[in-house]
Amino acid sequence: MPQTILSPDRPFRPLDETQLVDYIKSTLVIRELIGFDSGKGVIDVKEVGDGNLNFVYIVAGPSGSVVVKQALPYIRCVGESWPMSKDRAYYEMLGLKKQGEICPGHVPEVFFFDRTMALIAMRYLKPPHIILRKGLIACIEYPLLAEHMSEFLARTLFFTSLLYNSTTDHRRGVAEFCGNVELCRLTEQVIFSDPYKVTQHNRWTAPHLDEDARAIREDGSLKLEIAGLKSMFCERSQALIHGDLHTGSIMVTVDSTQVIDPEFAFYGPMGFDIGAFLGNLMLAFFAQDGHAKMDADREQYKKWILKMVVDTWNLFQKKFVSLWTEHFGSGEAYPPEIYNDPKLLQQVQSEYTKDLLHESLGFGAAKMIRRIVGIAHVEDLESIADVSLRAHCERRALGFAVMLLKERRRFRSIEEVNDALASR
């Protein structure tokens, strides 16, 4: 647990850049981190948050920088009309700490947390780190991306599941993260509900996609499928998941991959994290034609994105099963006295990962759909200036996602998904 001040004499208040400087001046831990402990020099603060929820600052001092993130009691991109518990900062801190313990190479350290102020100070991810989504738009290949993300997924999901833990520890974690219910409800609304009904929050490229959006709202079999996934999201405490693992929650360089922003963390279905990442890669894939120039068609880059989809799943599966075999008997799900036959264990693992693939494809598809006809869109598609071209890319992505959500169970491997994508 990072050093925490409860500051009972200092009630919550949102900090602007000037107030943040004062806050830091009065906070020894942060002063020391940026080399301002003597009080000499300058503290430079820059707001850099481009997410939907919070304010994020890079705080630079005489000899170092940190990132400071503050949660306000509403959703940033909507405003005070959509209240949201600022205690999400507490769950983000818990998530960062837990995932950092499990996978230190891919999660920034938390240095300081102030629960009253809903304020986290964490490691500054120096340039050339950029948000992965921006890298995907800029056509940059990250040779270690699948390796790193499969490592993050395999380790964080395995080590917080009943495959590794006792039921007692598991239920303690489940109970703790039940407190993060407001963020879960936000997901339930924007991913599993809004795209399937008429609501003022929804938007899409109009009028081009009017009919496509309407078809989704009138597709009974799609609604049946989304209901099943929503039940799983609400009821199944399989592992401590990140809860918002899209390509905007990942910062990268060619040799570093860092997962940030787990304020949606709770005990949920593993496939929700895997699907978030794969689904956002697929959105990036469908957006490429919108970014192609006459002299560079991006076909090569599209192949690389598909390779990331395939490699991430296959490496994840391999690493996850290896952890399971290595730590077999540590968790309470499969007692070794029962699953004592190597062939039986292999069969159990194969059934488990087969279901997980189908669940991941389902959640991934749901995340694609909501990014095209729901409230929050993705820059991959939004940044395509030619509206007709953007609508064309969006329609293809949407069509694929609807098919995937309905027919996910017929895919026996990620290669079959790759083939279906490549043939679009």
Residue placing its CB nearer to a second copy in the complex, 184 or 259 = 184
Q: 107, 102, 108: which is closest to 157 by C-alpha?
A: 102
Task: Tell me the H-state helices in 53-166.
Answer: 88-102, 132-137, 145-159
User: What Cα–Cα distance (Å) separates residue 9 from each residue in 71, 80, 106, 114?
Assistant: 19, 25, 36, 13
Neighbours of 423 (CB within 10 A): 6
How is residue 119 written in tokens?
A: 């304020």
How is residue 268 written in tokens?
A: 């949920």
DSSP-derived 3-state class of residue 49: coil
Q: 282, 267, 307: which is closest to 371 by C-alpha?
A: 282
188 touches a second copy (CB under 8 A) = yes
The number of residues that bind a second copy (CB under 8 A) is 45
339 touches a second copy (CB under 8 A) = yes
296 touches a second copy (CB under 8 A) = no
HSE-up (13 A, CA, CB side) for residue 217: 14
Residue placing its CB nearer to a second copy in the complex, 235 or 295 = 235
335 touches a second copy (CB under 8 A) = yes
Q: Which H, E and C letters describe 100-111, residue by residue?
A: HHHCHHHCCCEE
Place of tokens 């490549």: 422
Residue placing its CB nearer to a second copy in the complex, 139 or 348 = 348
Sole binder of a second copy in the list 234, 292, 376, 420 (CB under 8 A): 234
Q: Could you say which residues in the range 238-257 bind a second copy, by CB under 8 A? A: 238
Sole binder of a second copy in the list 1, 6, 42, 198 (CB under 8 A): 198
237 touches a second copy (CB under 8 A) = yes
Sole binder of a second copy in the list 13, 126, 223, 412 (CB under 8 A): 223
Q: How far is the CB of 259 from a second copy (least distance, A)?
A: 23
Checking DSSP bridges between strand 79-83 and strand 74-75, what pairing results, if any? antiparallel
Sole binder of a second copy in the list 12, 74, 328, 334 (CB under 8 A): 334
351 touches a second copy (CB under 8 A) = yes
How is residue 378 written in tokens?
A: 């993705």
Q: Which stretch binds a second copy (CB under 8 A): 110-118, 168-176, 275-283, 302-310?
A: 168-176
* Site residues (vs a second copy, CB under 8 A): 162, 167-168, 170-172, 174-176, 178-179, 181-182, 184-185, 188, 193, 196-199, 220, 223-224, 227, 230-231, 234-238, 332-335, 337-339, 341, 343-344, 347-348, 351
